[in-house]
């Protein structure tokens, strides 16, 4: 390794250490209190995702929806209270979240191994990473030490989770509000379908695109930003049915079970499933990134994704006495 390359790598590592320490997180946080935490998360996540690969984008989506509201504090996992208070789970953006059973299985195993030590927020962060790695996606280090929150409000989820109907200005504002850049926006959009999830490896529910296909401007028309041939195919997969919340369509028709950059190719071909996909071409910065990934066949996509996923996992974390370690991820009990 030449001197300049060494210094570059060292600088990146040093910045990572400073950022992690600034957030009160540490890769070795459980080195003595629960040394098998990553081993247990990896083993259980592989078991579930190995049988049902689509759980990978589901867990990544859940992680994003958690972090974008109140930070990465596992508030998205909390069930409604006996007094019928609505939590983040009760909202339309979270109505199709998948993977709770994976989180509960990991948490249960950790409670047996080291009771009251590992937070649900850390479990979710690890499971999202391990799920992507299981389907041959990139690996990234997950700094640990997050604590769990005890507040979960449906109103906050509705206000903060980016909409699949959002324009590029709104999307950039949504991401900037939590410290993510335009590059993070386009990188994560390639894997985190901003509402129903994981463009490059997941599925989208038809009820979200009904209006785009059949009544875009209220005149029984189709969104002109969609490729006509793609729109016709979508209509065969998503018939005009009122109230259908079960039908779905693959977001990536090219390589639907592979973690890759083909989502960007689809966007340039006007085959992005959501309006928010098309919006990425309306900004010079996000458009340039997409075109670069298409031209280079995703030369930097895995690295860029790992960097953005790491940043996302540190949004608004609670550490030390600011949070708790819930014994059960669905209830406030610690």
Please give the annotated binding residues for substrate, written as ranges. Answer: 162
Inter-residue contact 305 to 282 (CB < 8 Å):
no
Angle between helices 182-189 and 284-295 (to 10 degrees): 50
C-alpha span between 296 and 92 (Å, rounded): 37
Catalytic (active site) residue 63: no
Choose among 183, 168, 165: nearest CA to 290.
183
Inter-residue contact 248 to 235 (CB < 8 Å):
no
CB atoms within 10 A of CB 218: 7
C-alpha span between 301 and 260 (Å, rounded): 8
Instruction: Please give the sequence-ordered ranges of beta strands (E in DSSP) within 41-146, or none if there are none.
Output: none
The distance in angstroms from the start CA to the end CA of the chain is 49
**Binding-site positions for Ca(2+):** 66, 69, 71, 73, 75, 88, 200, 252, 255, 260
Residue with tokens 């690996």: 139
C-alpha span between 142 and 152 (Å, rounded): 24
**Binding-site positions for heme b:** 199
Catalytic residue among 65, 141, 205, 324: 65
Catalytic residue annotation: 65
């Amino acid at each position: 390794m030449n001197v300049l390359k060494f210094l570059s790598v060292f600088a990146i590592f040093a910045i990572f250490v400073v950022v992690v320490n600034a957030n009160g997180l540490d890769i070795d946080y459980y080195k003595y209190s629960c040394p098998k935490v990553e081993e247990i998360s990896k083993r259980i996540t592989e078991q579930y995702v190995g049988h049902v690969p689509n759980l990978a984008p589901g867990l990544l989506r859940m992680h994003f929806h958690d972090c974008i509201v109140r930070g990465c504090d596992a508030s998205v996992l909390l069930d409604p209270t006996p007094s019928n208070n609505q939590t983040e789970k009760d909202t339309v953006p979270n109505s199709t979240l998948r993977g709770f059973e994976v989180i509960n299985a990991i948490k249960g195993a950790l409670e047996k191994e080291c009771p009251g030590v590992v937070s649900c927020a850390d479990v979710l962060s690890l499971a999202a990473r391990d799920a992507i790695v299981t389907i041959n996606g990139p690996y990234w280090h997950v700094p640990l030490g997050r604590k769990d929150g005890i507040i979960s409000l449906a109103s906050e989820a509705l206000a903060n989770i980016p909409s699949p109907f959002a324009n590029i200005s709104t999307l950039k504002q949504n991401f900037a509000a939590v410290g993510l850049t335009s590059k993070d926006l386009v990188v994560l959009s390639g894997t985190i379908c901003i509402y129903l999830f994981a463009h490059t490896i997941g599925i989208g529910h038809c009820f979200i695109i009904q209006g785009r296909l059949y009544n875009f401007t209220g005149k029984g028309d189709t969104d002109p930003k969609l490729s006509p041939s793609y729109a016709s195919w979508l209509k065969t997969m998503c018939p005009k049915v009122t109230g259908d919340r079960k039908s779905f369509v693959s977001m990536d028709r090219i390589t639907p079970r592979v973690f890759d950059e083909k989502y960007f190719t689809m966007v340039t071909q006007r085959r992005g499933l959501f309006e928010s996909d098309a919006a990425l071409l309306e900004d010079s910065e996000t458009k340039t990134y997409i075109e670069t990934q298409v031209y280079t066949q995703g030369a930097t996509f895995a690295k860029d994704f790992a960097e953005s996923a790491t940043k996302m996992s540190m949004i608004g974390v609670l550490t030390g006495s600011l949070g708790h370690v819930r014994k059960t991820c669905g209830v406030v009990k610690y």
